[in-house]
Amino acid sequence: MDLHTEMLLAEYDAQLPVIQRLQQIVKDSLNQAIDRNGMMVTAVKTRVKTRESLVGKLALKGSKYHSLDDITDILGARVITFYTDDVDRIAAMAEQLFDIDWENSVDKRRLHDLDSFGYNSLHYICRLPKSIVDDPDCPQLNTIRFELQLRTTLQHAWASINHDIGYKTGVEIPREYLRQINRLAGILEMADDEFSRIRTEITDYRRRVQQLVQNGQLDEVQLDGDTFHSYLAARPFNTLNKHIAAINQAEIQEVPLDDYLGVLIALGCKTLGDVEAMKKKYHEAAYALARHQLGNTDLDIISSSVGIQNICIVCILAQGGGKIGLIRLFNALNGENPQNELLAEMTYEQAKNLPLMKEGN
C-alpha cells in the first residue's frame, strides 16, 4: 500500500462518522419526499463504501484521486422504481431536494448508441443543501458529495446479474456471452416500456370508468374489481343502509364491500348496470327482511354491508336458489363453516314469507 492510499484511507477513517450521519439524512430525505409525492417505489437503499472496497478502488485507480472529496461514491444512494416514468419523476424530485453536481452527473440511459444496449441508470452526484441540514459544528454535511442512482426494478435486476457475472467469475467473459447479456438488456428495456404503457392505459381506463359511473352510464361498464371499486366509491347502498338503520335508529359502521364482487358475478351480474338494476329491484325486499330481523331486537349498530348482503339474500331466494344458495352465499362471505347451514335455514325461514319477497319473485 503506497503513501497516497494510506493518506486517503486515513481521511476515510476520520470522515466515516460524518458520512454515516449523512447517509441517514439522505435516506430519510428521499423516503419523506417519495411519501409526500404519493409515490411507490421498490426500494430506497443507501450504503457507505467499506474500507475494503475503497482499498480495491484505490488499487485500480488511486492516482486519479487527490483527496477523498474526489471520490463521489463513498456514500451511495439508490432508488429502484417500478416504472421507467418514475425514474424521471424521482429525478425531478431529487433535483429539488439536493444540490446536483451536473458536471459529474450522468444519464447512462442516453449514452447508448442506437444499436447498442446495456447498463441503464441515471446517476446524480449530489450535496445536501442547507435547507435540509445546517449544522455549524459539521459543515461537511453540506460539502461531501454522494452518488444517487435511479433505475427501474428490471434495470436493477440486469445490472445486478451483469455485475455478478462480470466481476465474480474472475475471468474475462467471451464476447459471445457479453453480447447475450446485452441482448437481454434490450429485452428488459422493451419490457420496461411495456409496463409503463400498460400502466398508462389502465389509468386511462379507470378514468373512463369513473366518468361512466359519474354519468350513470353503468350498462356500458363491465363488472370487475376495478369498476366495482369505482362504483362503491359513490356509496350506492347508502340509501338502503340508512333506511335499514332507521328501523332501530342504529349507527352505521363503514366496511369495505369489495368482497361482494364474486357473489354479484355468481348471481349473474355482468355490468355495473346489472348491479344497479338488482339493487333497485330488491331494495324494498331487502329492507323488509332487515325490518323483520332487526325490528324485534334492540340492536342499534349495523355495518354498511347489511344493505348489499340483504339484496343478495333476497335475490338468491327470488332466483330460486333456496337454502343451498344461501349456504353458498354465507360460505363465500364468511368462510366455510358448518353453522352456515343453520344460518341459511334461519334466514330462509325469516325471508320466505315476506310479501315483498313474493313480489320480487
Which positions touch another protein (CB under 8 A)?
250, 253, 255, 257, 259, 290, 293-294, 297-306, 309, 330, 333-335, 337, 339, 342-343, 346-347
To another protein, the closest distance from the beta carbon of 360 in angstroms equals 19
Q: Return the number of the residue (10 or 255) whose C-beta is nearest another protein.
A: 255
HEC secondary structure over 133-190: CCCCCCHHHHCCCEEEEEEEHHHHHHHHHHHHHHHHCCCCCCHHHHHHHHHHHHHHHH
To another protein, the closest distance from the beta carbon of 231 in angstroms equals 17
Q: In which residue are the cell numbers 444540490 written?
A: 99
Residue 143: exposure state from Cβ atoms within 10 A (0-12, 13-18, ≥19): exposed
To another protein, the closest distance from the beta carbon of 75 in angstroms equals 32
Question: Are the beta carbons of 347 and 326 closer than 8 angstroms?
Answer: yes
Q: Return the number of the residue (34 or 326) whose C-beta is nearest another protein.
A: 326
To another protein, the closest distance from the beta carbon of 344 in angstroms equals 10
The cell for 159 is 445490472
Mapped onto helix, strand or coil, the DSSP state of residue 271 is: strand
Strands 75-81 and 99-100, sheet pairing: unpaired
Q: Return the number of the residue (45 or 243) whose C-beta is nearest another protein.
A: 243
Q: Return the number of the residue (30 or 311) whose C-beta is nearest another protein.
A: 311
Q: How many CA atoms lie within 13 A of 349 on its CB side?
A: 5
Q: Give the separation between CA 111 and CA 212, rounded to whole angstroms.
A: 44
To another protein, the closest distance from the beta carbon of 342 in angstroms equals 5
Q: Return the number of the residue (217 or 334) whose C-beta is nearest another protein.
A: 334
Comparing C-alpha atoms, which of 318, 320, 342, 319 is closest to residue 330?
342
Q: Return the number of the residue (176 or 298) whose C-beta is nearest another protein.
A: 298
To another protein, the closest distance from the beta carbon of 45 in angstroms equals 24
